[in-house]
Structure 1
């Protein structure tokens, strides 16, 4: 009996060892830019920790101009968008880049992007050979970029449990079941902090209602995909797929995000791209050396935007940089610089930069950024203040958080003027409070008990080892909405109170009537 028990225990531990050190994981990314950089980093981390990783990647978007891909240690399954459609999509991106730099980003732009992602989803699901080969590999779990609803549908089509990764702040929190108290949790695109006055709380309520309207529109956009590729009777609902995720990871950290309630299956792993700085090239080191004690600033408007299509804005930025004593390393495609515009003498243009290494350089004084989460987390890690120029998406909210944390400030793109830009840069660099706040956040970030990659690996392995995350998800996800909000209880109590009040009134009326009639009889 004892020998049998020992053999069972031995087999159990062997299974756990093999499971933890040899899980088959499918990572999914159908967008370029920072989305690809993040999912690639996640894939590398999982691969380094002994897991068999394959990425399913949609190529052809061209959203990483100037980037030279590193050799991949894990296999990648790719497919490329049709050339005719790709031309249309790139025209859409080019058109909206122009709008971003003139301050005209809106929810219509976001919904138009979702319509393109829906079309691309149909193309992806039509890749029958690829879908079959992925199904035949029998992955244990999928790790998906949750910004694109298509990744949920692909996972569902493959019959895989999945872990959802959202590449920013808790923008979709109300739609994934997260408690969202509107009195101190600012909604996506509200640009509010957690300290709201009366009118700001009113705004927050309307933003909450608006977020549900937008979500319904997104679900309607993907209805055609679902109807075309899933049989009647087993057609998924995107809102249900959000709740079905075994885990939710967010590319954020409470060094920048405001404290808020979370559920056991929701974790933040922001800062995966932030690391100790490596030495920069000798060419850059020579350029930085010329800055003396003034140091240098890094300018990058994100992985997607390698140029500025609005020449008036470009002129103002160039003039503004010319007025500061610091050297400027600006990620900008040199071939797209206007021939008639003379580059400021203290500015160096580069097709691509190792941003983390530059921000981590001892002479880095400031990061001028669009406000992408990866850039901000790198600035926090290295304790470098920030000047933001938000363009679209979550960048406005990200920079509102940077301002609330007193680590920097931001200027709306339509208000960029040379003098104002130069004065703001000087103000941030010369005011020690910004650097002090940045260093304080850096200490908070670095002193956390577990690094982002450790949390990522441990939680993924926990889900694989325990056979899913059902033990972490609240029962509320299975309840009807009226039970979640206790509307049935409220209705029952209300009916009881009405009935009690009705009976009480009837009794009192009856008693008063009897007393009245008795009194009248005595008088007569």
Structure 2
């Protein structure tokens, strides 16, 4: 009996304290190239480590997504996706040219239009890719025969979304942005009175004029999606999905793994199938390579400044690089700068140029004082995780918005890279280094970010495996996408109630009118 009791105790301990058991799943991944793949690859590697089989769909011109990997099986489509190094380099260069004209309203409009035009080209390629996939009967049969458990995709493009719908597979998003814009606007109530549209650089406390701007920006963005994006997919939607709407494809997703953290974002309504995993790529710092460690230690009490402009922009216009290098040369700190191309003439002896840096490990080093960054989501989240204040030099995409939020919380400072000179850049760095409030505020954000019951990556993997175990998560998904717009916004109910109210009002008026004539008639008869 004693042995039997011990065995039962072991069983209960296993049930209560061990993570939920999941059979090895078969996951089909449709990623987006570039920095988005850096995020997706972390999840892919973790899925592989947990025993799942992962297949990654890529095109021949894939930039970051390699054909050979120990973590996944690549499915290479024999066509171009359009999202290659050459396209991105030309596109980003054009955005930088526009911003160098200044920050007038016209320049901002020109910048937005250029981004929509570039996305239009990519969506044209995306539509061609979907048609190529769906028309290849042999390929589609091979996907069905593989018996995938779910599709994991980044919904900036529609390929994975449409394939999941066509194969009737559970769908999980690794998401910040979608075909329509910021992900929350596709799935959760988003009152524009206090939910700022990304890119407006507004907070959740808006004045009347700011709310007008917010609504205008939202309408402008929606019109551009209708004009630049959707037309390429209209025929495909009719051909393959009949009456389904674009929005319904997104809202059918079982799970939204959202790459944000409310330590950083402004509070807003959300939904039960939105799981927040902001900073899931962050981890404790590892020891630096010996040559970097020696360089860092040589900084003494002054410490180190690191600078990186992300995966897309490692080379700035020459004159800007010269201004930055000249400012760095005047500092007592040592500088590690991710830079490619010709070294600036004004480069100081305290500055080390590198093609690549272990950014996470440098941010976690005790001697790192400031992170000079462009404001990409990954870099901002790593800086928050390690509590390093930021001097922001936003360039393109959502970088202005990310750095606005850091500045709003007093955890960094933002400069206009196209109007600054070496003196203003130097003043900005010295302010962030010597004003303690920046580091204090960033370290507070770091404590809040880390104060979680479960690590963001573990949370994301739990919910992916949850979908595998339960063949989806429809019970967490709103069915609002099945409703016509007038039902969703209760227009029909409002009109019905207004109609009843109008009928009651008319009835009351008629009754009063008749009563009035009746009383008047009696008075007249008495007089007569």
TM-score range, shorter chain: 0.7 to 0.9
Cα separation, 2, equivalents of 1:19 and 1:211: 44
**Per-residue displacement from partner, 1:341-400 (whole Å, max 9, x unpaired)?**
332332211111111011111101111111111101100111100111111221121112
Q: Structure 1's 421 and 241: CA in aligned 2 closer, same or farther, altered over 3 A?
A: same
- Which moves more between the two structures, 255-264 or 508-517? 508-517
Partner Cα separation in structure 2 for residue 482 and residue 101 of structure 1: 41
Q: Tell me: CA distance 1:461–1:363, structure 2 relative to 1, closer, same or farther (3 Å).
A: same
Provide the C-alpha distance between the structure 1 equivalents of 2:68 and 2:329, rounded to a whole number of angstroms.
35
Question: Residue 7 of structure 1 corresponds to which residue in structure 2?
Answer: none
Which residue in the other structure is 2:286 paired with?
Answer: 278
Write the distance in 2 (CA, Å) between the matches of 1:134 and 1:115: 28
User: Separation in 2 of the partners of 1:387 and 1:165?
Assistant: 28
Query: Given the alignment, which residue of 97, 114, 139 partners 1:109?
Result: 114
The 1:101–1:312 alpha-carbon spacing in structure 2 relative to 1, beyond 3 Å, is farther
Q: How many angstroms apart in 2 are the aligned matches of 1:225 and 1:439? A: 51
Superposition map of 1:190-269 within 5 A: 190-223=200-233, 226=236, 231=239, 234=242, 237-269=245-277
Distance in 2 between residues matched to 1:117 and 1:160, nearest whole Å: 25
Is 1:89 the counterpart of 2:87 in the alignment? yes
CA contact (8 A) 1:252 1:269 kept: yes
The CA distance in 1 between the partners of 2:89 and 2:409, in whole Å, is: 38
Report the equivalent of 2:9: none
Q: Is the 8 A contact 1:383 1:441 kept in 2?
A: yes
Q: Which moved more, 1:167-176 or 1:508-517?
A: 167-176
**1:118 alignment counterpart:** 123
User: Superposed, which structure 2 residues align to 1:215-364 within 5 Å?
Assistant: 215-223=225-233, 226=236, 231=239, 234=242, 237-308=245-316, 310-333=317-340, 335-337=341-343, 341-364=345-368
Q: Secondary structure at the match of 1:126?
A: helix
Q: Which runs of 5+ in 1 are unaligned?
A: 1-12
The gaps in structure 2 that reach 5 residues or longer are 1-14
- SS of residue paired to 1:27: strand
Distance in 2, matches of 1:239 and 1:269, equals 23
Q: Does 1:480 align with 2:488?
A: no
| Aligned counterpart, 2:10 | none
The correspondence of residues 38-117 of structure 1 with structure 2, limited to 5 A, is: 38-60=39-61, 62=63, 72-79=70-77, 82=80, 89=87, 92-93=90-91, 95-96=93-94, 98-99=96-97, 102=100, 106-117=111-122
Query: What is the CA–CA distance in structure 2 between the aligned matches of 1:108 and 1:155, rounded to whole Å?
Result: 31
Count of residue pairs brought into register by the alignment: 499
Partner of 1:382: 386
Distance in 2 separating the partners of 1:225 and 1:328: 53
Partner SS, residue 189 of structure 1: coil
How far apart are the structure 1 equivalents of 2:76 and 2:294? Answer: 40
CA distance in structure 2 between the aligned counterparts of 1:277 and 1:352, rounded to whole angstroms = 16
CA distance 1:63–1:301, shift in 2 (3 Å): farther
C-alpha distance in structure 1 between counterparts of 2:125 and 2:348, whole Å: 42
Q: How much has 1:88 moved relative to structure 2? A: 7.2
SS in 2 for 1:222: helix
1:178-197 pair list within 5 angstroms: 178-197=188-207
Q: Distance in 2 between matches of 1:69 and 1:97?
A: 31
* Higher alpha-carbon deviation: 423-432 or 233-242: 233-242
Give the TM-score normalised by the residue count of structure 1.
0.87
CA offset digits 1:209-260 (Å, max 9, x no partner):
2333233235424326726xx7366475432211111111111111211122
Structure 1 residues 140 and 87: alpha-carbon distance in aligned structure 2, compared to 1, 3 A threshold: closer
Structure 2 SS opposite 1:361: coil
1:446-482 deviation per Cα after TM superposition (whole angstroms, max 9, x unaligned): 1211111111111111112222121001232222221
Query: 1:188 touches 1:207 (CA, 8 Å); kept in 2?
Result: no
| Structure with greater contact order relative to length (CA < 8 Å, sep ≥ 6) | 1
* Distance (whole Å) between structure 1 residues aligned to residue 88 and residue 213 of structure 2: 35
